[in-house]
Chains A and B, each alone.
Chain A
Amino acid sequence: MTTRVHTRSPAEITLIGLAVVLSALILVVPIALIFAYALREGVGVYFANILERTTLHAIGLTVLTAVIVVPINIVIGICVAWLATRFRFRGRQLVITVIELPAAVSPIVAGVVYLFLYGGQGLLGPVLQGMGIQLMFTVTAIILVSLFVTAPFVARELIPLMQQQGTEDEEAALSLGANGWQMFRFVTLPNIRWAIVYGAVLTNARVMGEFGAVSVVSGSIRGQTNTLPLQISQLFNDFNVTGAFAASSTLALIAVVTLILKSTLESRGWQ
Chain B
Amino acid sequence: MASRRSKHLLPGFGLTLGVSMLYLTIIIVLPLLAMLLKVGGMGWPEFWRIVASNRSLAAYRITFSSALAATVFNGFFGLLLAWVLTRYSFPGKRLLDALVDLPFALPTAVAGLVLVTLFAQTGWYGQLLEPIGFKVNYTQLGIIIAMSFTSIPFVVRTIQPVLEDVEAGYEEAAKTLGATGWQVFARVIWPTILPAFMTGCVLSFARSLGEFGAVVFIAGNLPGLTEIVSLLIFIRLDEYSYEGAAALAFVLLLAAFLTLLATNTLQSWQVRYADRST
Contact = CB atoms under 8 A, between A and B. Distances in A.
Interface of A: 1-2, 8-9, 11-12, 15-16, 18-20, 22-23, 26-31, 33-34, 37, 76, 79-80, 82-83, 86-89, 95, 97-102, 104-110, 112-117, 121-124, 144, 147-148, 151, 167, 170-171, 174, 180, 183-184, 202, 205-206, 208-212, 215-216, 228-230, 232-233, 236, 241, 244-245, 248, 251-252, 254-256, 258-260, 262-263, 267
Contacts of B104: 202, 205-206
Nearest to B25: A98
A117 B37 CA distance: 10
Contact of A112 (B106, B209, B249): B249
A1, A27, A89, A114 pick with most chain B CB within 10 angstroms: A27
Contacts of B211: 106
Contact of B109 (A15, A106, A233): A233
Contacts of B257: 101, 104
B101 A259 contact: yes
A117 B36 CA distance: 11
A82 B206 CA distance: 27
Contact of B31 (A9, A108, A117): A117
14 contacts: A9-B181, A16-B88, A19-B96, A102-B28, A104-B210, A104-B260, A106-B212, A124-B34, A180-B12, A209-B107, A209-B213, A210-B107, A232-B113, A241-B117
Q: Which 9 A-B pairs have the closest CB atoms?
A: A209-B107, A106-B210, A211-B213, A212-B212, A113-B31, A104-B256, A255-B105, A117-B34, A180-B11
A128 B107 CA distance: 32
Given A30-B111, A83-B13, A209-B106, 9 more contacts: A19-B84, A27-B102, A30-B106, A87-B13, A104-B260, A105-B210, A114-B31, A151-B27, A256-B105
A109 B8 contact: no
B238 to A, nearest CB: 10
Contacts of B109: 209, 211, 229-230, 232-233
Contacts of A123: 33-34, 37
Interface string B257-273: 10110001000000000
A86 B10 contact: yes
B35 A16 contact: no
A229 B107 contact: yes
A86 B149 contact: no
A79 B96 contact: no
A196 to B, nearest CB: 16
B98 A106 contact: no
B101 A211 contact: no
Contacts of B209: 106
Contact of B245 (A107, A112, A230): A112
Interface stretch (B53-61, B188-196, B229-237): B229-237
Contacts of A12: 88
Interface in B58-94: 77, 80-81, 83-85, 88-90, 92, 94
B38 interface: yes
Contact of B96 (A20, A30, A113, A211): A20
Contacts of A83: 13, 16-17, 20
B17 A209 contact: no
Given A108-B249, A205-B105, A33 B81 contact: no
A202 B181 CA distance: 38
B20 A79 contact: yes
A209 B109 CA distance: 7
Nearest to B206: A104
A80 B28 contact: no
Contact of B8 (A30, A86, A116): A86
Contact of A263 (B8, B92, B97, B168): B97
A262 B110 contact: no
Given A19-B96, A109-B249, A180-B12, A101 B28 contact: yes
Contacts of B210: 104-109
B274 interface: no
Nearest to B209: A106
